[in-house]
Amino acid sequence: MPGVVLDASFALAFMLPDEAQPLPGEALAGAAVLGLTVPELWWIEVGHAALQAVRHGRMTEAERRDGLARLARLPIETDAEGRLFAWTATTALAERHRLSLYDATYLELALRLGAALATLDAALRRAAAAEGVALQPA
């Protein structure tokens, strides 16, 4: 079963109390049942965004710690091979769809694994659809 590639926007919506997107915990739990995989940069990206959310008053320090702990309890696999594609397939995807290299990393991983992509990022969702990648939430 190919599972789901989890991007930072999806994880952060799960954590942030003021997130405008309605994202029930069941959506992430459902994706976790399929198997979650993230690129190595995901851990840094989510951690950084959570720190920024505290600094900008979007969440408290306690909410940050709790949210990261909840994410850490999920069965998340980290892909160690993404670096091998960063300057080739990933860059080509970024150029083709006008994505940041960071966002293209999630798309490349989903394509390589034959997995769905869990993202709330509109540009990344459009690119994934154009590449034939299934999306979560659908």
Contact status, residue 111 vs residue 121, Cβ threshold 8 Å = no
| Structure confidence at residue 90 (pLDDT) | 97
CA distance 12 to 68: 9
| Structure confidence at residue 123 (pLDDT) | 97
Cα-Cα-Cα-Cα dihedral sign, residues 41, 126, 49, 77: negative
| Structure confidence at residue 22 (pLDDT) | 53
Whole-model pTM: value is 0.89
| 3-state SS record for 45-70 | HHHHHHHHHHHCCCCCHHHHHHHHHH
CA distance 131 to 114: 11
| Structure confidence at residue 35 (pLDDT) | 78
| Structure confidence at residue 74 (pLDDT) | 87
The parts of the chain modelled with pLDDT lower than 50 are 1, 24
B/e letters for 54-68, b = 16+ CB within 10 Å, e = fewer, are eeeebbeeebbeebb
| Structure confidence at residue 13 (pLDDT) | 85
At 63-98, the pLDDT tens digits run 999 999 988 988 899 999 999 999 999 999 999 999
Q: List the domains of the chain with CATH numbers.
A: 4-136 (3.40.50.1010)
